[in-house]
Amino acid sequence: MKDMKKILYVPVLCGAMILSGCAGTVERSAETSLALPESFSVSGTAASPEQWWLAFEDDQLNQLIDQSLTDNFSLKSSWARLTQARALYDKTRAGLFPTVDGDGSASHSIDYNDGSTTKSDRLSLGLSASYELDLWGRIDSEVEASRLDLEATAADLDAAAMTISAAVAGTWYRLIRQRASLELYDEQIQTNTKALDLISAQFRTGQVPLADVLQQRQLIENQQGQKVQLQSDKGQTEHQLAILLGQVPGAQPFEIPVQFTDLPELPDTGIPVDLIRTRPDIRSSFLSLQAADERVAVAVAEQYPSLRFFVSLDTINNPTSTIFSDYVGSIMASLTAPLFDGGQRKAEVERTRGAAEQSLNDYGQTILTAVGEVEDALLVEQKQQEYIKNLQGQLDLAKQTMAQIKDRYLKGVENYQRVLTALTSLQSLQQQMLTAKADLLLNRIELCRALGTGWGYST
In a domain, 5, yes or no: no
pTM of the model: 0.85
Determine the 3-state secondary structure of 372 from DSSP: helix
Q: Which of 288, 351, 300 is nearest to 26 (CA)?
A: 300
How confident is the model over 185-200, as a mean pLDDT? 94
CB 323 within 8 A of CB 263: no
Task: Dump pLDDT digits (tens) for 238-256.
Answer: 999 999 999 999 888 899 9
* Contact partners, residue 10, CB within 8 Å, separation at least 6: none
How confident is the model over 310-316, as a mean pLDDT? 82
The DSSP-derived string for 184-219 is HHHHHHHHHHHHHHHHHHHHHTTSS-HHHHHHHHHH
How far apart CA 155 and CA 458 sit, in angstroms, is 8
CA-CA-CA-CA torsion sign (391, 392, 397, 400): positive
Edge to edge, the sheet with strand 99-113 lists 99-113, 116-133, 306-317, 327-336
CATH number, position 56 = 1.20.1600.10
For residue 455, the model assigns a pLDDT of: 60
Question: Which of 16-30, 118-132, 406-420, 430-444 is predicted with the least confidence, judged by mean pLDDT?
Answer: 16-30
Q: Which of 229, 296, 340, 274 is nearest to 43 (CA)?
A: 274
Domain span at residue 93?
45-98+136-303+351-451
In a domain, 33, yes or no: no
How far apart CA 269 and CA 278 sit, in angstroms, is 11
How far apart CA 427 and CA 108 sit, in angstroms, is 99
Confidence label for 414 from pLDDT (cuts 50, 70 and 90): confident
CB count in 10 Å sphere of residue 11: 11
- The percent helix, strand, coil of the chain (3-state, each to 5) is 65, 10, 25
Give the H/E segment covering residue 309.
strand 306-317
Confidence label for 32 from pLDDT (cuts 50, 70 and 90): low
Q: Which residues of 272-291 are buried (b: 16+ CB within 10 A; e: fewer)?
A: beebbebbbbbbbbbbbbbb
For residue 323, the model assigns a pLDDT of: 54
Length of the chain: 459
CB 24 within 8 A of CB 16: no
Determine the 3-state secondary structure of 302 from DSSP: coil
For residue 28, the model assigns a pLDDT of: 63
- Cα 110 to Cα 2, 38, 114, 205: the distances in Å are 41, 89, 13, 126
For residue 116, the model assigns a pLDDT of: 75
Query: Dihedral (C-alpha) 351, 356, 360, 366: value to the nearest 10 degrees?
Result: 90
Q: Which residues of 223-249 are buried (b: 16+ CB within 10 A; e: fewer)?
A: beebbeebeeebeebbebbbbbbebee
In a domain, 160, yes or no: yes
Confidence label for 23 from pLDDT (cuts 50, 70 and 90): very low
Q: Which of 152, 51, 455 is nearest to 278 (CA)?
A: 455
More confident residue, 314 or 75: 75
Mean confidence (pLDDT) of the chain: 87
How far apart CA 340 and CA 178 sit, in angstroms, is 69
How far apart CA 309 and CA 332 sit, in angstroms, is 6
| pLDDT for 18 beyond 70 | no
Q: Give Cα 157 distance to the centre of its chain.
A: 5
How far apart CA 63 and CA 61 sit, in angstroms, is 5
In a domain, 34, yes or no: no
Helix pair 59-71, 73-93: axis angle to 10 deg: 50
Confidence label for 118 from pLDDT (cuts 50, 70 and 90): confident
In a domain, 254, yes or no: yes
In a domain, 309, yes or no: no
In a domain, 320, yes or no: no
Number of domains in the chain: 1
Task: Dump pLDDT digits (tens) for 334-388.
Answer: 888 888 888 999 999 999 999 999 999 999 999 999 999 999 999 999 999 999 9
